[in-house]
Amino acid sequence: MDIKIENLRVFNDVAFVAHSARVSGVGKVRCECGGRRSCERCSGSGMREPTDEEIFTMILENDYSSALEHVVFSFEIRGLSKGNALELLEHRIASHTGRSTRYQSEVDFDFNLPPAVSRILEKYGIDEVEYKKSIARDALVPEIADEDERSILESYAEAIGTARKAYSRLLQRGAGKESARYVTPFAIHTAYTYTINLRSLINFLGLRLCVRASPEMRELAAKVYMAVREKFPPISLVWCRGYNFAACPENEVRDSPQGKECPFRNRNSRVFIPTRKQIRMGITLQKFDSEAFEKLREELLRRWAGIP
């Protein structure tokens, strides 16, 4: 749970998206007054110009997404594992500048803990930071009776410890950073300066705020979501792909072990979202309870971002 999103900047806003849509051409909407002659908004015609917020929502709902590309976010990502950074880079519609392992020393590299290790530490109330420090000091991992669990902690500590020592030794013997980095693990921290437009960000969040995404990518997506929301509240209009489309494309996954954790899968819940396959079978979205969803969203964000 080491990921941090820092120095977020937002270029352009809802008003600019609405402006671009108006340049393109936006129809009028029905006025709330119902055509009252004294109405200032529609001069009695019953039809008025939409507000910036209404245009923005319409663009999102109707998926006229090119207008969303005018809003751009730049931020720094820290504490992402090098291994999972590859998953981030699969999102091609973004710009990124990464920490160089050719030029920066990784002698004291920090690293992420995999889910299996975190689960054991949590079960026994062992502090993650302390466990990581014990690896650095070559100290013994805590005594745990369960042989499998102990072995998982030991194996992980051993691998990280060995990589650290080998890296330092390679540098001392003159191999250079460019070569020494070959022994660094999947878990080693990396950092990115990242720039992504709103259209691509929605695609990223839609795919990664999902129980199918790997835990670290979910953590990243949850933290990006919270950081963006602070400066760009309309991001609250989007969530996972199922929510955004009112139909989940992960048809088969719902019945898999991962899918069982999907909070939208229960047909009797107030936040049921059908899969596309279910819709074809005649199972449709029932009345979706927005308040229940908002509560659920906060819970998921906290859980996935590791906030107690």
Ligand X SMILES: Cc1cc2nc3c(=O)[nH]c(=O)nc-3n(C[C@H](O)[C@H](O)[C@H](O)COP(=O)(O)OP(=O)(O)OC[C@H]3O[C@@H](n4cnc5c(N)ncnc54)[C@H](O)[C@@H]3O)c2cc1C
The residues of the shown chain that bind Zn ion, judged by CB under 5 A, are 31, 33, 39, 41-42
- Select 120 or 213, whichever has its Cβ closest to ligand X: 213
CB of 286 to ligand X, least distance (A): 26
- Select 92 or 137, whichever has its Cβ closest to ligand X: 92
CB of 54 to Zn ion, least distance (A): 14
CA atoms of 108 and 138, how far apart (whole Å): 13
- Select 49 or 110, whichever has its Cβ closest to Zn ion: 49
31 binds, among ligand X, Zn ion, none (CB under 5 to 8 A by kind): Zn ion
CB of 55 to Zn ion, least distance (A): 18
- Select 36 or 91, whichever has its Cβ closest to Zn ion: 36
CB of 297 to ligand X, least distance (A): 19
CA atoms of 95 and 59, how far apart (whole Å): 24
The pairing of beta strand 72-81 with beta strand 189-197: antiparallel
CB of 116 to ligand X, least distance (A): 19
3-state secondary structure of 221: helix
CB of 253 to ligand X, least distance (A): 8
| Chain residue at closest Cβ approach to ligand X | 92
93 binds, among Zn ion, ligand X, none (CB under 5 to 8 A by kind): ligand X
How far CA 106 is from CA of 69, 140, 164, 167, 179, in Å, comes to 37, 23, 8, 8, 12
61 binds, among Zn ion, ligand X, none (CB under 5 to 8 A by kind): none
Supply φ then ψ for residue 124, to 5 degrees: -100, 10
- Select 142 or 215, whichever has its Cβ closest to ligand X: 215
- Select 69 or 76, whichever has its Cβ closest to ligand X: 69
- Select 40 or 148, whichever has its Cβ closest to Zn ion: 40
How many whole angstroms from its chain centre is CA 260? 20
Contacts to ligand X by CB under 6 A? 90-93, 200, 203, 207-208, 212-213
Q: Which two tokens stand for residue 168?
A: 């330092």
42 binds, among Zn ion, ligand X, none (CB under 5 to 8 A by kind): Zn ion
- The Cα angle at residue 213 between residues 99 and 235, in degrees rounded to 5: 80
How far CA 262 is from CA of 64, 206, 254, 269, in Å, comes to 28, 14, 7, 12
Q: Compute how many other C-beta atoms are within 10 angstroms of the C-beta atom of residue 168.
A: 15
8 binds, among Zn ion, ligand X, none (CB under 5 to 8 A by kind): none
207 binds, among ligand X, Zn ion, none (CB under 5 to 8 A by kind): ligand X
Long-range contacts of 156-164 (CB under 8 A, 24+ apart): 156/113, 156/114, 156/117, 157/131, 159/185, 160/111, 160/135, 160/185, 160/187, 161/135, 164/107, 164/109, 164/136
CB of 282 to ligand X, least distance (A): 27
58 binds, among ligand X, Zn ion, none (CB under 5 to 8 A by kind): none
